[in-house]
Amino acid sequence: MALVSTPATLERAVPVMDNAEVLRIRNDFPVLNQLVNGQPLVYLDSGATSQNPVSVIEAEQEFYEQRNAAVHRGAHHLAVEATEVFEDARQTIADFIGADYAETVWTSNATEGLNLLSYSLSTAGLWAAQGRGDQGLKDLALNPGDEIVVTEMEHHANLIPWQELAFRTGATLRYIPIDDQGSLRMDQAAAIIGPRTKVLAFTHASNVLGIINPVRELTALGHTAGALVVLDACQSAPHLPLDVKELGVDFAVFSGHKMLAPTGIGVLYGRQELLDILPPFLTGGSMITTVTMERAEYLPAPQRFEAGTQRISQAVALAAAANYLTETGLDRIHRWEAELGQRMVAGLEGIPGIRVLGPAAGKARIGLAAFDVEGVHAHDVGQFLDSQGIAVRVGHHCAQPLHRRLGLTATTRASAYLYNTTDDVDRFLEAVAGVRAYFHA
């Protein structure tokens, strides 16, 4: 299974996507068939939020039209059907990432999943000290002198929860630096990850640099040190084959809205033996076995972490999105997006006054490119492109430390998906080529 788009893997015998197929795929996405400022929409902001195919929209609509009821709480017909499709969706997502059914927890988004982990780990020591839960909690508890390791390229969602965990427990937060091209300093990683490391959290693919990180190598370093390994898969799960068991990580998170699904739904994967002993994050109904006026006993995972009314229709729609991606073929999607990403970077590098972040053309990356235009602020670049019907992202992309390390405050980011064509990329490049002249830079 190819998880990195190197020249060798791109030559594998994977059925090739082309513009003709992509144009057929685009017909499944109603929002793309419109004019913006009098121009056909070119949507290059899927790294932030992807669009929804008709099958996903219909899956959520069909739930409300035919099966709307609370899950796990009723014996009537609609409640039973709602529970069945809800749990079927869980199995679909578990299969999608190579996990077991009970290792797949619904969250509102990846950010909630990471906060869930951070909070539960900070509570583990308290539970262990009071004799609550499994004795294995002592091994998970963080204390002064322990270390949490992240990377310098992390999205704020995979940085701030760990900052707060360090604050609550007295642990120390450390980070693996990047070099001037944005790659992790793996020589320093081996020195930073050590006996005091209790948590190692890092992104699979950078939402700014487009880099695909060496997950297995980092995971091996973490496990050798006895650390829990947490993977931010937000920019990988929608775009390339993901097998959490094969990668060996202990936890992983991703969001539905980046992989053709609605907002308000995300997934936390965790190894069963870890999820079953972690203290819950939110408490209330639907996640308990016995309640007295003094205390409560909690269900095993995944219900242990799913208090209250769940995101039922969104989970059903996320399963439909996973099926859409599986049927299209994630190997094929990854290869097509890698081609688009290379086309973007090569084109941008040929435009005077443009600095592209991350790997140069010809080096492996996912289908996105963040860049700086000399003399023009990123927000102005974004507005200029929007005037020509091209949607991109501007700002620091929730990665201020990364931008600061590279000497920037903001960049413009174009991110492709399975519904983008080479013509989309060429229109984007043609527009970028006119930015500096337009602003007299």
Contact between 420 and 22 under an 8 Å Cβ cutoff? The reply is: yes
Lookup: tokens for 17 = 């996507």
Q: Which of 186, 307, 398, 433 is catalytic?
A: 398
Instruction: For residue range 330-361, list pLDDT tens digits in order.
Output: 999 999 999 999 999 999 999 999 999 999 99
d(CA 37, CA 230): 42
The per-residue pLDDT for 400 is 98
Residues 20-68 pLDDT 10s: 999 999 999 999 999 999 999 999 999 999 999 999 999 999 999 999 9
What's the average model confidence in pLDDT over 87-113? 98
This prediction has a pTM of: 0.95
What are the tens digits of pLDDT across the range 414-423?
999 999 999 9
Distances (CA, A) of 137 to 133, 202, 231, 368: 7, 23, 21, 40
DSSP codes joined into one string, 98-121 = T--GGGEEEESSHHHHHHHHHHHH
DSSP 3-state of 178: strand
The string of DSSP letters for 2-48 reads --S--HHHHTSS-PPP-HHHHHHHHTT-GGGSSEETTEE-EE-BTTT
Q: What does the DSSP assignment read for 237-304?
A: TTTS---HHHHT-SEEEEEGGGTTS-SS-EEEEE-HHHHTTSPPSS-STTSEEEE-SS-EEEPPTTGG
Q: What fold characterizes domain 57-326?
A: Aspartate Aminotransferase; domain 2 (3.40.640)
Residue 91 identity (one-letter amino acid): Q
Q: How far apart are CA 328 and CA 15, in angstroms?
A: 10
Active site residue 398: yes
Per-domain residue ranges of the chain: 7-51+330-438, 57-326
Residue 177 has pLDDT above 60, yes or no: yes
**pLDDT at residue 290, rounded to an integer:** 94
Integer angstrom CA distances of residue 296 from 72, 127, 276, 289: 19, 13, 15, 8
Are 153 and 206 in contact by the 8 Å Cβ rule? The answer is yes
C-alpha separations of 103 from 24, 107, 231, 423 in Å: 35, 13, 15, 41
pLDDT at 225: 98
CATH 3.90.1150.10 fits 7-51+330-438, yes or no: yes
Look up tokens 């600061």; give the residue.
404
pLDDT at 15 over 80: no
The rounded distance, in Å, linking the Cα atoms of 155 and 378 is 19
The confidence score (pLDDT) of residue 212 equals 97
Other CB atoms within 10 A of residue 16 CB: 10
- Cβ pair 324, 56 in contact under 8 A: yes
- Judge whether residue 12 has pLDDT over 90: no
What average pLDDT does range 300-328 have in this prediction? 97
Whether 432 and 385 have beta carbons less than 8 Å apart is answered as yes
Tokens 């996903």: give the residue: 56
The pLDDT of residue 11 is above 90: no
For residue 73, name the pLDDT band (cuts at 50, 70, 90).
confident
pLDDT of 4: 42
pLDDT classification of 10: cutoffs 50, 70, 90: very low
Instruction: Identify the band that residue 13 occupies on the pLDDT scale cut at 50, 70 and 90.
Output: low
What is the rounded CA–CA span in Å between residue 126 and residue 280? Answer: 13
